Amino acid sequence: MDQIIVRGNGPLSGEIPIAGAKNACLTLMPATLLTDQPLTLTNAPRLSDIRTMTALLQSLGAEVASLQDGQVLALSSHALTSHRADYDIVRKMRASILVLGPMLARDGRAEVSLPGGCAIGARPVDLHLKAFEAMGAELDLRDGYVHAKAPAGGLRGAMVDFPVVSVGATENALMAATLARGTTVLKNAAREPEIVDLARCLRAMGAQIEGEGTSTITIQGVDALHGATHPVVTDRIELGTYMLAPAICGGEVECLGGRIELLSAFCDKLDEAGVSVTETARGIKVSRRNGAVRAVNVTTEPFPGFPTDLQAQFMALMCVAEGTSVLEETIFENRFMHAPELTRMGARIEVHGGHATVTGVDGLRGAPVMATDLRASVSLILAGLAAQGQTTVSRVYHLDRGYEHVVRKLRGVGAHIERVKEE
């Protein structure tokens, strides 16, 4: 098993290219199940989660080819051989549930294991299932699987009013509705850039969709979709993560391909903390303005609010800020597991339910720490960049699910970081 070793070494300088969005790509890949024609995705990230989704689609009979060093994915579902997404694959990744809607819409049936992923909360799939029931599907949960069957004639357009905002449920319902008979209206829909990206891809495939990026999305079902080529949107979580690197240890870094509109609430908090964020022709340039970073309070919210997937990384910054900050987590109930590991490095953090109170310290100390989930793993690396001495991060297989070439990218701006085999 690998470890990441980080040695704090002062300010960073240079450029970091930002990859295509993991969460967008994992949603776009199942869209191949909606058509028998080829779907090509460009700007794809090279991550273990992408390989897991590839294996899942291939188990259903889809063809997936990785081209141009993995940055292009050529997909085709012209001849599906199975409608069962097995537990052995699905348990590895939450996004696996996104094959349910496309299979149900195209072929009228699907069997999908209840999914797994990072241990950051229950994240039930009931909102997905209620959307499909509204479209006329018959659902049976037994033996750990969702057994779904569309009515005769296929799914029907419906009014779906989500009681709470859910990115995954919005994505699943959106894909299913493209082939449903009649009009589907998704109310209280998620507004994330990944939703907008999915809608653009589906529209390129012939879907009729309006309102993506707002809380109401309207889909007029069509008889069939066709092939398309679509570029995956920039990964806003990778973008925000690398924006925090110069904020936490000084210097100036330009994140290539970034846009402030992807992270406006996050950028506002950086500005409030005393970090300069400037959009350039090539991306976003970030530098610490003057002196220490100031403590600011953060509440995670659905887009366009502060992303839950950047909470752990922002906490690392607040550990070395002047003053006391309160981070409130409203999306997942178990997402402060990185806090005890940060305290091993000298951070002062108190967690009470969904709130974490962070009192900034003059400096962190390197220590052996253990990653508990994807975003926690990179928060510990960021903390290591600001710490005195050596930080050794174990269980970094989480990291490979969401960040490609993290060591290479941070080395490129001057960080002392390496990946080694655990002794």
Binding residues for phosphoenolpyruvate, by number, are 22-23
Known binding-site residue numbers for UDP-N-acetyl-alpha-D-glucosamine:
94, 123-127, 309, 331
Q: Which residues pair with 420 in a beta bridge?
A: 3
**What is the rounded CA–CA span in Å between residue 300 and residue 282?**
28
**What is the rounded CA–CA span in Å between residue 160 and residue 178?**
14
Known binding-site residue numbers:
22-23, 94, 123-127, 309, 331
Q: Return the structure tokens found at 234.
A: 């920039």
Are residues 228 and 203 in contact, defined by beta-carbon separation less than 8 angstroms?
A: no
Listed residue (232, 186, 193) closest to 211, CA to CA: 186
**What is the rounded CA–CA span in Å between residue 326 and residue 347?**
14
Catalytic residue selected from 25, 118, 201, 319? 118
**What is the rounded CA–CA span in Å between residue 279 and residue 286?**
9
Q: Which residues pair with 187 in a beta bridge?
A: 161, 216
Listed residue (282, 272, 356) closest to 322, CA to CA: 272
Q: How many helices (H) and strands (E) does the chain have?
A: 13, 26
Are residues 44 and 25 in contact, defined by beta-carbon separation less than 8 angstroms?
A: yes
**What is the rounded CA–CA span in Å between residue 247 and residue 317?**
7
Listed residue (160, 163, 171) closest to 216, CA to CA: 160
**What is the rounded CA–CA span in Å between residue 111 and residue 114?**
10
Phi-psi region of 92 (alpha: psi -120 to 50; beta: other; left: phi over 0): alpha
118 among known catalytic residues: yes
Q: Where are the beta strands (DSSP E) in 150-294?
A: 159-161, 183-187, 208-210, 216-220, 228-231, 251-256, 275-279, 283-288
- Those residues whose C-beta lies under 8 Å from the C-beta of residue 40, and which sit 6 or more positions away, are 72, 73, 74, 75, 227, 228, 229, 230
Active site residues: 118
